[in-house]
Chains A and B, each alone.
Chain A
């Protein structure tokens, strides 16, 4: 083993020249990975925005992949069980946690958004079964694209009901130990 190693170290193939091809090979792989990341990011980026942000940049966003979050306006929900066509409006809610905290928590912010008629609203069209969680003042995160008609065509619907699971305080209690 030792003898063989000795030979290896003295062989003319090793050293700077031998190393160069490995460095080039490694750089090629790195370049390939970077290319894959950059091209895939460009092709698949989803812009996460609020209804207001969408409204202000609407023209430049038609056809792009978008994720919009907003508050579901219950009175606008229409569902046809035969065709499974579902439409509803969402009202603008702030996107950052800090403003949600300032507004008194998610439930309060959603409530305020739905009851305020002056809020920007966006109509969503979705084909699929109506989720149970789709109800007034739920938070909807819709993924899809904006059509020329100003309507949002959703491929995916994610719903959160802030009041539903946050039963953090015990309901039935007996005092004492």
Chain B
């Protein structure tokens, strides 16, 4: 009964969002405020309705209604309550429900704001959000319905249907399969909602952009109104990516955090255009330039968000070739195609109105460097997109399936990322409008001196890898330039106000939060780069089959194999756990506990034993479960230098973000 109720609410919400869309369009063309108001109210209703349906689904998950195929596939009796709740996004059907839920929440939040001043934008914001919402709801209703249940047909076959096939009997399994153990990890529990929050929040700036295009407003009002949305979208997308990396590092047991597989790239691509957008809107706000470009960027971001949802929705797609096997595929491509073409057509229609107020004059002005930043992000995007579609293209053209692996992305992207880092070092010192090579050089030489010491120190330390030299020097440059900017700003304020230096620093950051928060985010990015350079360039690995009492050596460490135990855990999994002691130069440093959990459903999970310090991680994996004994245990050991800085950088990132995005009053937005 509950399932039918949930499904009914879904259908109702779907119809309501279509109604909202139609009345908004009619209201705009008939210039009828009452129609638009009706559309707005309909939009507002979608959120409580989807909440009702989602809560119904959560209740069904928690109470073990295994007669529903979705509940059966992602929960089991042995799972704790919090995992049963988070199983809402443990599978494809449920994660689409989460998407719609977030979409309705954001759409409602936007329509709730005071609309006196920009009322002409409202109907089109409603149209875009309700079209998007209706699309995702239609997927849930027609293709990935989380409320379908099990039936046994007269032929004895088990089928999944919403309504009873003729003569079929309803069946109710007593237990479910349970959530894939790989997904039972804090990183994985938070990762999908974070990513989705980021994805969905980008729909809002897109909706305002389209509204501005339709209504013919060429000012930057749409950007100012959605600035907070863009920032929030970007924060959650970034966090979603980092959490995904952390999850891969902790759970997948291959010693790395990022494998350049199509699913990861699909989540990275909207981040690339989103980051470019975040930078280039500043030029439009300050100088009235790049208007067409910003429109294009947000349109691209929206399309990539939908594409990313399609690829990542279940988190299990490992190959682009699986496209054809899902009925959902053509729907997604049609939707992306239609929205992209419509949006670009609209942009071309308004192209002339969106010409820049001023022309760029200097190659070294801040806006020119921002443009360069955008081009580099686009470059990375093209590399990623090429890598994803290359197998399809080569198969079409030559009939031979050719794929490109991680080395392709690393090689093609590394110079682009390096250039982006160099820009982070240089651009903050350039001025708007007119900035010449000379003025830029004058500003740059002071912070360059301490960074120039870095390669010297590295050579003395014995580093000979030129990529590492360039990389760490750029890291140092960005950090010194940024700190120098803080110091310079606080110093000049201090002279005027005669405050204590720290007070000046605080006031400075408080009054230009966006700028100095942005600088902190730059620092966080290069701190992350330290970790990435460390693990990418200096990771070493070794493998050996050990008997208890034997040793294995790596990077100056000795690991002594102490013992092995195998025991069942309360939720039915069988745990195989080894104990190793870590020594360095004869000194005992601690113990490591690599584990191999084998779930009754037949799914294994490798949990590495990790010793993590600021200098390096020691990462030990127990490779197998079958035929493993104390006399014969295969281990794989990774030495990952500096990788901890990747996670430290992400904490700095959150801090910098809070500085940059702490809500500013509406009056403040007008003023700037």
Report whether A130 and B404 are in contact in the complex, using a CB–CB cutoff of 8 Å: no
A-B contact count (CB 8 A): 156
Say yes or no: A48 contacts B391, CB within 8 Å.
Answer: yes
Contact of B407 among A14, A22, A44, A97 (CB under 8 A): A44
B220 CB–A CB distance under 8 Å: no
A171 to B, closest residue via Cβ: B173
Q: Inside 8 A of A43's CB, which chain B residues have their CB? A: 407-408, 411
Q: Which residues of B contact A25 (CB under 8 A)?
A: 363, 372
* Known contacts A44-B407, A48-B402, A48-B403: A170-B72 contact under CB 8 Å: yes
Residues from 117 to 164 in A contacting B, C-beta threshold 8 Å: 128-132, 143, 164
Chain A nearest CB, measured from B19 CB (Å): 35
Q: A169-B158, A170-B72 are in contact. Are A36 and B403 (CB under 8 A)?
A: no
Distance (whole angstroms) from the CB of B267 to the closest CB of chain A? 21
Query: Which residues in B have their C-beta under 8 angstroms from that of A11?
Result: 361
Supposing A97-B321, A165-B602 touch, asked if A176 and B170 sit within 8 A by C-beta, the answer is yes
- Say whether A40 faces chain B, with CB atoms less than 8 Å apart: yes
B416→A33 contact, CB < 8 A: yes
Min CB–CB distance B290 → chain A (angstroms): 12
A37 contacts B361, CB within 8 Å? no
Cβ-neighbour of B383 out of A4, A29, A36 (below 8 A): A36
Q: Taking CB as reference atom, which chain B residue is nearest A158? A: B318
* Chain A positions within 8 Å of B321 at CB level: 97
Chain A hits for B634, CB < 8 A: 81, 84, 129-130
Q: Measured between alpha carbons, how far is A95 from B601 in the docked complex, in Å? A: 29
Contacts of A167 in B (CB 8 A): 177, 601-602
CB pair B403–A67 under 8 Å, yes or no, is: yes
Q: Does B358 contact A (CB under 8 A)?
A: yes
Given contacts A33-B379, A48-B401, A67-B403, contact A40 B412 (CB under 8 A): yes
Q: How far is A171 from B172 in the complex, measured between Cα atoms in Å? A: 11
Assess whether A8 is in contact with B358, with CB atoms less than 8 Å apart. Answer: yes
Closest residue of B by beta carbon distance from A34: B382
A103 in the interface (beta carbon within 8 A)? no
Interface centre among B72, B150, B360, B390, by most chain A C-beta atoms within 10 angstroms, is: B360
Across the interface, name the chain A residue whose C-beta is closest to B288: A5
Q: Which residue of A lies closest to B325 (CB)?
A: A97
Expressed in whole angstroms, the minimum distance between the Cβ of B83 and any Cβ of chain A is: 19
Chain A residues, CB < 8 A from B411:
36, 39-40, 43-44
Decide yes or no: A132 and B624 within 8 Å by CB, A37-B383, A44-B405 being known contacts: yes
Residues 310-329 (chain B) with a chain A CB within 8 angstroms: 321, 324-325
A1-59 with Cβ < 8 A to chain B: 4-5, 8-9, 11, 13-15, 18-19, 21-22, 25-26, 29-30, 32-33, 36-37, 39-41, 43-49
| Assembled-state Cα–Cα distance A172/B66 (Å) | 11
- A101, closest chain B residue (CB): B325
Interface residues on B, range: 35 or more
Would B172 and A128 count as touching, CB distance under 8 A?
no
Bound CA–CA A130/B543 (angstroms)? 12
Structural contact, A46 and B170, CB atoms closer than 8 A = no
CB neighbours of A26 from chain B (8 A)? 375
Complex contacts, A97 vs chain B, CB 8 Å: 321, 324-325
**Contact among A5, A18, A47, A84 with B357 in the assembled complex (CB-CB below 8 Å):** A5
Separation of A37 and B325 alpha carbons in the complex (Å): 29
B634 nearest CB neighbor, chain A only: A129
Closest B residue by C-beta to A161: B602
In the complex, whether A102 has a CB less than 8 A from a CB of chain B is: no
Partner of B603, one of A33, A48, A165: A165
| B544 contacts partner chain A, Cβ-Cβ < 8 Å | yes
- Asked if B613 CB lies within 8 Å of chain A CBs, one says no
Smallest beta-carbon distance B172→chain A, Å: 6
Bound CA span A121–B357, Å:
68
| Residue B465 interfacial (CB < 8 Å) | no
In the complex the two chains form, what is the Cα distance from A164 to B169 in whole Å? 27
Bound Cα distance from A97 to B372, whole angstroms: 43
Once the chains are docked, how many angstroms separate the CA of A31 from the CA of B449? Answer: 32
* In the assembled complex, B154 has its CB within 8 A of some CB on chain A: no
Q: Mark B269-299, 1 if CB is under 8 A from A, else 0.
A: 0000000000000000000000000000000
Which A-chain residue is minimally distant from B361 (CB atoms)? A13
B421 in the interface (beta carbon within 8 A): no
On whether the beta carbons of A45 and B416 are closer than 8 Å, the reply is no
With CB as the reference atom, state the residue of chain A lying closest to B378. Answer: A33
B566 to chain A, nearest CB (A): 14
Which residue from chain A places its CB closest to the CB of B385 in the assembled complex? A37
Contact B416 A81 (CB under 8 A): no
Q: How far is the CA of A61 from the CA of B601 in the complex (A)?
A: 41
- Taking A36-B412, A47-B401, A143-B405 as known contacts, 8 extra A-B pairs with beta carbons closer than 8 A to each other, sorted by chain A number, are A9-B358, A18-B359, A32-B379, A40-B409, A45-B403, A48-B401, A165-B602, A176-B171
Q: Which residues of A contact B (CB under 8 A)?
A: 4-5, 8-9, 11, 13-15, 18-19, 21-22, 25-26, 29-30, 32-33, 36-37, 39-41, 43-49, 67, 81-82, 84, 95, 97, 128-132, 143, 164-165, 167-177
Q: List 23 A-B contacts (CB under 8 A).
A: A4-B433, A5-B357, A8-B361, A22-B360, A22-B368, A36-B411, A37-B412, A40-B404, A43-B408, A45-B403, A47-B400, A47-B402, A49-B401, A81-B632, A81-B634, A129-B623, A131-B623, A131-B624, A165-B602, A167-B177, A170-B171, A175-B171, A177-B170
Question: Closest 3 CB pairs between A and B?
Answer: A129-B634, A170-B173, A129-B623
